[in-house]
Chain A
């Protein structure tokens, strides 16, 4: 398998703080790899190193076979970057921003304009082409940001938390764009603190915590690795919840977790579902929902790191040096 990105033992320290503590990462060509982790996990630091914005203190990495430290210009010729913060010019229009980037990449004025028009059309931004970015909604801004990263038709695209701060509708729009890119065969390194986002978009997920890689695999594999299936029951009548909880505890041998009327227990024995159904029936209790499911990525994260991915202060993602 050929790798678009291959990183080994990346270390980055800010004074006493170790942002990256020996991270390996492999992204196969044409795949989407999601890096999942809370703020401060080292996601952005990894992207900044792989985008040649900063050098690692130790370890090495190649993008498209080119060393990020020895051959940064070649790496920059292959990549596109959409950062966490809008990396377009607020006062300029959509077209002006994209044409500038095209010109910087060596397109003639005519070709830069054509490429800009094409991307604006592709990202449904044609109506906004002549308006300053400052008037754009959050979702439009991210789409333009993505378009700006694609002017040079990069082989490898970095999306650093592309939907952080967006409302659910705008998030869906960005997801749609990313899915289309992937269908075109782009290689994407996506960082996110949203478990659902990694699950939706990525072929495989690498979980970071405190500057280390704590797990990797396909979304389904990760879920299975962390404790198999769970049985989920939602009694029709809320008053039945304690009784059902007691019953589930007896049958499964585990204390069930309860969350807004839904009871969840790990399943060791495949016959448990049938046994639970019979007992509920016998007790005259009906359930709106009764079934097996894989654990959510939230539960996976808890199992892998010992804590849930709490969303902390935005600025805490290992970025004391900002320029």
Chain B
């Protein structure tokens, strides 16, 4: 053991006894950085968010596209691409519950909990780190769509807005998955449950077809379904057309989901600590 000493300032040990909002943000970003490094070290973790949307898009365009498009392939491509972007990013967002459930059972979460950092920081950090997954997913989709002949009809600002909306949507809805992960704690069960829960949201929507062919009750649900609303807003932002209705509806859903599921997730996380 070396007894060499190098002068390094000790961390500020004023015993404030509380964690400020600014510190919470900085802790969350530091922990998001940890998640980001982990993705960079094993990009294989991104394989699901890259492959699933590719398969979905190819399937809907080439397998079902002919019968759904009724001859108007270009219209159908413009309808489906934004829809599949919503669906894919939503599917990418539900993985976090399972991975957090696994992570939280390791000793490292004990270390975080024993440190003077915000209680919420490890969860917020993990949620933010998943932006890597969403970006990988969306970039793949856009590249594939361009190859298949899809073209944006709006400008760069609107296109960037669409990507921001999609990432924001995934970030807020991922708190449902975080809550289940903290509640159930078994990664496999969490993943299975989330897969079932998102089915009525993704398929009972206007992602693959206009919902005017649905029975009345299903159409009513599809009209207020967040996936439909985000898809509408995304179509408007990428293809041109009305944006406001879908956008406001989406933002209301995102705010609502955070208001309900962030506190629930935090409560379950604290309770787990005993």
Q: Which of A80, A88, A104, A322 contacts B27 (CB 8 A)?
A: A104
In the bound complex, residues from chain B placing their C-beta under 8 Å from that of A123 are: 1
| Residues of chain B lying within 8 A (CB to CB) of residue A89 | 34, 38, 108
Q: How far is the CA of A77 from the CA of B11 in the complex (A)?
A: 10
B contact residues around A77 at 8 Å (CB): 13, 15-16, 116
**A107 in the interface (beta carbon within 8 A):** yes
**Chain B residue at minimum C-beta to C-beta distance from A57:** B274
- Given A53-B274, A81-B110, A87-B110, verify A105-B37 contact (CB < 8 Å): no
B10 within 8 A of A: yes
B6–A148 touching, CB < 8 Å: no
Judge whether B109 and A51 touch: CB under 8 Å: no
B1-45 CB contacts (< 8 Å) to partner A: 1-2, 4-6, 8-13, 15-19, 23, 27, 30-31, 33-34, 37-38, 41-42
Q: How large is the interface on A (under 10, 10 to 19, 20 to 34, 35 or more residues)?
A: 35 or more
Taking CB atoms and an 8 Å cut-off, the chain A residues in 3-62 that contact chain B are: 12, 48, 51-55
User: Does A66 have its Cβ within 8 Å of any Cβ on chain B?
Assistant: yes
> Is residue B273 within 8 Å, beta carbon to beta carbon, of the partner chain?
yes
B104 sits at the interface (CB 8 A): yes
| Residues from chain B with Cβ under 8 Å of A122 in the complex | 1-2, 4
Known contacts A89-B38, A104-B115, A53 near B4 by CB under 8 Å:
no
Distance in angstroms between the alpha carbons of A122 and B5 in the assembled complex: 9
Asked if A307 is an interface residue, CB under 8 A from chain B, the answer is no
With A83-B111, A85-B107, A106-B11 as contacts: A54 and B1 at CB distance below 8 Å:
no
Known contacts A55-B274, A71-B17, A323-B185; A105 and B115 CB within 8 A of each other: yes
CB pair B6 A81 closer than 8 Å:
no
A155 shortest CB reach to chain B, Å: 9
Query: Which residues between 86 and 113 of chain A lie within 8 Å of chain B, taking CB atoms?
Result: 86-89, 91-92, 96, 100-107, 111
Complex Cα–Cα for A73 and B114 (A): 9
Residues on B with beta carbons closer than 8 Å to the beta carbon of A76? 114-116
- Is there contact, CB below 8 Å, between B272 and A323? yes
Question: A79 at the A/B interface (Cβ < 8 Å)?
Answer: yes
Which of A12, A78, A177, A323 is in CB contact (< 8 Å) with B104? A323
Is A271 interfacial (CB-CB < 8 Å)?
no
Q: Confirm or deny: A315 has a beta carbon within 8 angstroms of a beta carbon on chain B.
A: no
Taking the closest CB of chain A, its distance from the CB of B101, in whole angstroms, is 9
**Contact with A115, one of B8, B107, B185 (Cβ below 8 angstroms):** B8
Query: A106-B12, A107-B9 in contact; A53/B113 too (CB < 8 A)?
Result: yes
> Residues of B contacting A114 with CB < 8 Å?
6, 8
Query: Is A86 a contact of B107 with CB atoms below 8 Å?
Result: yes
Minimum CB–CB distance from B183 to chain A (whole Å) comes to: 11
Chain B residues contacting A88 (CB-CB under 8 Å) are 107-108, 111
Q: Is A321 a contact of B11 with CB atoms below 8 Å?
A: no
B114 touching A81, Cβ below 8 Å? yes
- Apart from A73-B116, A87-B108, A322-B105, 14 more pairs, CB < 8 Å: A53-B114, A55-B274, A73-B19, A81-B114, A85-B110, A86-B107, A87-B110, A100-B30, A104-B112, A114-B6, A114-B8, A152-B11, A152-B115, A153-B13
Task: Spell out B's residues near A (CB within 8 Å).
Answer: 1-2, 4-6, 8-13, 15-19, 23, 27, 30-31, 33-34, 37-38, 41-42, 104-117, 121, 182, 185, 269, 272-274
Closest 7 CB pairs of A and B: A54-B274, A87-B107, A323-B272, A85-B107, A105-B11, A87-B111, A76-B116
